[in-house]
Amino acid sequence: MHSLRHYISKVNCKWFQTSCSYSSQSLILVNEENGVRHIVMNDQKTRNALSVSMMMQLMDAINKDRDNPQLRCITLRSSHAQVFSSGHNLKQMALDKVGHSELQHIFTTCSKLMLSILKHPVPIIAIISGVAAAAGCQLVASCDIALATDSSRFSTPGARHGIFCSTPAVALYRKIPEGVVRSMTITGIPITAQYAYTVGLVTKVISSDKDLENEIKIITNGILENSRSVLALGKQFLYQQLNMSIEEAYKVGGDTMVQNLCLQDGVEGMNAFIEKRHPQWSHSEEIYPLK
């Protein structure tokens, strides 16, 4: 992917591969730059298939030092020029090759990965240039923000191969209209980046690689300007309210705003606004000491 190679050559931080005890092969690249952790899926041979090893390495990279206040944002992208992720590797899921327990382990691990994104205290941004299929599409839907090039495509084609995309539908149902999910999972027909934007799967569609890198910088800089503790509390509420009645959501939302205002950064933000100055965030989860 030209834009990724160009990006890597520009950064001063060193990219490193990560490997774990369960796999001798590193499938991702990671670097950290000014509070932003960049994770790149780098298994071009399988088109970034979400094998157990890939998912475990992604979880390790996402969850590493998750409570470190210096970590402010995570981006997730692919080194493949045409594919974000092809989803699960169907060759590894044939029943004549693996048993029931192995299959269960695959989907349990996948669910843990998606939940680790939802429950992470910092915003996680998916950057898509190419195909995001099945569990790869689920991965996009699980991220807080998704940026896509206009050539990107999104699909849940499992039914065409005898395996309905049930777990991808969990994330999609919580992100886009139910009718769109039914159409995608029943027909397997891909949707365009522009249509994905229209229905809410994608946050923004970008026309060129250069514009994509600029947009990533704009969004990450916007996140860096805010308090980590305030965003963490807000992100938690955004997902918490999804299954609430509107009455309960307003009640919990009000409680969350009170809790927010009692944070040290809540007090600092209000004081900075009143005093017409830039806030000096502590990123602390501590409550402001009452007099």
Contacts of 176 (CB under 8 A, 6+ apart): 141, 199, 200, 201
Return the closest-CA partner of residue 22 out of 55, 46, 63: 55
Two structure tokens written together for 107: 């989907």
**Torsion over CA: 86, 89, 94, 99 (sign):** negative
Q: What are phi and psi of 212, to 5 degrees?
A: -65, -45
DSSP states along 231-242: HHHHHHHHHHGG
CA atoms within 13 A on the CB side of 121: 19
Residue 24 has pLDDT above 90, yes or no: no
Across 71-89, average pLDDT: 96
DSSP states along 1-38: -HHHHHHHHH-SSPPEEEEETTEEEEEEEEEEETTEEE
Tens-digit pLDDT profile for residues 169-195: 999 999 999 999 999 999 999 999 999
- Kindly indicate the confidence band of residue 291, based on its pLDDT and cuts at 50, 70 and 90: low
Residue 53's CB is within 10 A of a number of other CB atoms, namely 20
Q: Please, what are the domains in the chain?
A: 2-224 (3.90.226.10), 228-274 (1.10.12)
Tens-digit pLDDT profile for residues 151-163: 999 999 999 999 9
Confidence (pLDDT) at 94 = 80
- pTM beyond cutoff 0.75: yes
Residue 52 has pLDDT above 60, yes or no: yes
Cα of 19 vs its chain's centroid, Å:
21
